[in-house]
Amino acid sequence: MKAELTAVIETAPEGGYWAICPEISGANGQGETIDEAKGNLRQAIELILEDRRNDILRGLPEDAIQEKVLIG
């Protein structure tokens, strides 16, 4: 899945960088470099979305229709 989300990156007081994604509640990452913080944020987003998807699919009846929807 491809998506374009926002990474807000700030300098961490203890050193390195802190990143959040305002579109995905709870998604954050940190790292010694901006690239490392963004990479960790990307992983957090992927894990959160996968977990949310799995939670929703667990409750669906077996005969529910699942199809892909393209955005953008």
CB burial of residue 50 (10 Å; 0-12, 13-18, 19+): exposed
pLDDT tens by residue, 38-57: 999 999 999 999 999 999 99
pLDDT band at 1 (very low <50, low <70, confident <90, very high): low
- How far is the C-alpha of 43 from the C-alpha of 30, rounded, in Å? 11
Which pLDDT value is given to residue 2? 73
Residue spans of the domains in the chain: they are 8-57
Distance between start and end Cα atoms, the chain: 12
Residue 68, pLDDT above cutoff 70: yes
pLDDT tens by residue, 12-34: 999 999 999 999 999 999 999 99
Alpha carbon of residue 9 to chain centroid: 15
Q: CB of 53 within 8 A of CB of 66?
A: no
